[in-house]
Chains A and B, each alone.
Chain A
Amino acid sequence: MSKRLIREALNIPSSEITSESIYKQRRRLIQAAMSAAILPAFAYPSFARAAGYEIPDDLPRYPGPAWLRQKLASAVRNPDLSVSDELAPYYHIITHNNFYEFGTDKRDPARYAQNFKTDPWKVEISGEVAKPGNYNLEDILAPHALEDRVYRLRCVEAWSMVIPWLGFPLADLIKRFEPTSKAKYVHFTTILDKEQMSEQRSSFGTIDWPYVEGLRMDEAMNPLTLMAVGVYGNALPPQNGAPLRLVVPWKYGFKSIKSIVRIHFSETMPETSWNVTAPSEYGFYANVNPAVDHPRWSQATERQLPSSLLSPNIVDTLPFNGYADQVAHLYKGMDLAKWF
């Protein structure tokens, strides 16, 4: 019998034991990573080590491009905007992903994104801003110091994880490009690359690629809204949305768009991918709301991963994913059942 089953029989949450039992799976992942020349255990300065994050030696680490490493290493924890919940294990964070461009199974992105090319990377800033342009990611990041923030992430599919991101406030980035008074919304676009992303080639897809997400300007400027470049003290793995992704912790995970190549400002509300694909299921706002169910998933509770088989880790979902104090005022007077 595997150790995990024994553990589950004894009802010990798997996060309490460094699970050497996932060894085989890890081996496979490492092999994939090795083939992509992302070697585990690099000698590079790492925030992960300083912060004491537990990354088992047999799992791949993602040091990121050389120019990013010093920045990652000198990140500081922001305790005011971090939750104190127990972190999801590194293994779960890098192998359980919704990144449909690489496949619809949660395990697909970790399998198929290892060779995804994320450096060099350009981001186009366009629309209602004084300084539009096509910028190198390095230049976009240059003036920003990185923070380490532990956020809850709640997926619309009713599972959740607690994740330590490395990033900087989106507000700081937006201010640099000087939006005009007409900038009411921010649009984000994921890279369109049929060669690297198999689902973008699928004939039976329901999403009109590239993936697009968006925020109202005041949501984008909220101090919680993060542009992330790292996780667990290292650079973002490709399956987690490298090299640049959004993290909006009070909204369902699909709002937190990955591998961003375009940030656009406009007066009109963006047509976001899931909202266009199934408007009755996914709204533009997508604020976490236990009172409004999705047709397929109750939003009243969530399974927080890691979840053991025989006693699933079901917890109550909180309004705005527990961030009501910081963001509820943004929606004052709005009927949240209508604007779901």
Chain B
Amino acid sequence: MVSGEKGRLLRWWFFFLLLLSPLAALFVNLLNDNLGADPAKVIVKELGFWAITLLWLTLSVTPGIKLLGWRWLMSFRRMLGLYTFFYAVLHLLSFATFLVGWRWDILLTELTKRPYIVVGSLALLLLIPLTFTSTKAMQRRLGRRWKKLHSLVYPISLLAMLHFIWQIRSDFGQQLIFAILLAILLGYRLYLNRRS
């Protein structure tokens, strides 16, 4: 293991590229016409899947530190959060471009009339203030209020879960896994709260 400043930098780049790789893989598959007869839908779903996965990973940082003692995780919490936002924004953009073709009439009804999209949009909207207050400077400036603001991540995760659950058709295996993981991640916070 490389230590010191150089090791930290190496680790940063490693995680940075690792979390970018799902997008790179999607891109390579697209260029190779590897996404099937309807790449539009596949792209939207993949990006949504990575957005929720990264959100769950962001939520895993605190339990990871407290339960496993992996303190180094802390320096990647911001990166995980920003990547969540990044994939969620690409998810929305690919929906608006590849599926809706920026037809404003359709986009407007989709964003207001489909319950699963309304909660998805709300989740994305709430991610915006978190994204723009994610810097160390902002953290210092906001002080105690920063923590309060960033506990928005809990309702956001519930909205994202609901967004996913409302898409269940003939099989809920995936949704069940994400729901169990979320129950553990949020349950652990409740447990910590109770104790203190």
Q: Which of A296, A300, A305, A306 contacts B114 (CB 8 A)?
A: A296
Is A74 engaged at the interface, CB distance under 8 Å to the other chain?
Answer: no
Nearest to B117 among chain A residues (CB) is: A296
Q: Contact: B36 with A296, CB < 8 Å?
A: no
Nearest to A311 among chain B residues (CB) is: B101
Q: How many Å from the CB of A296 to the closest CB on chain B?
A: 6
Q: Which of A25, A95, A300, A312 contacts B100 (CB 8 A)?
A: A312
Q: How many Å from the CB of B163 to the closest CB on chain A?
A: 11
Q: A311 to chain B: which residues have CB within 8 Å?
A: 101
Q: Contact: B36 with A104, CB < 8 Å?
A: no
- 8 A Cβ contacts from A155-206 to B: 159, 199, 202-206
Given contacts A25-B36, A159-B38, A307-B40, contact A104 B110 (CB under 8 A): no
Q: A122 to chain B: which residues have CB within 8 Å?
A: none
Is A221 engaged at the interface, CB distance under 8 Å to the other chain?
Answer: no
User: How many residues on A have C-beta within 8 angstroms of the other chain's C-beta atoms?
Assistant: 43
Q: How many Å from the CB of B21 to the closest CB on chain A?
A: 20
| B: contact size bracket | 20 to 34
Given contacts A104-B171, A301-B106, contact A309 B38 (CB under 8 A): no
Hey, which bits of chain A sit against chain B, CB under 8 A?
Answer: 1-2, 4-5, 19, 21-25, 91-92, 95-96, 100, 104, 106-107, 159, 199, 202-207, 277, 293, 295-298, 300-301, 303, 305-307, 309-312, 314
Q: List 22 A-B contacts (CB under 8 A).
A: A1-B31, A2-B32, A5-B31, A19-B33, A24-B34, A25-B33, A95-B36, A100-B169, A106-B36, A205-B171, A206-B168, A293-B113, A298-B114, A300-B109, A303-B40, A303-B99, A305-B37, A306-B37, A309-B40, A310-B98, A312-B99, A314-B103
Further pairs besides A295-B115, A303-B99: 4, Cβ < 8 Å: A107-B36, A204-B176, A309-B40, A314-B100
Hey, which bits of chain B sit against chain A, CB under 8 A?
Answer: 30-34, 36-41, 97-101, 103, 106, 109-110, 113-116, 166-173, 176
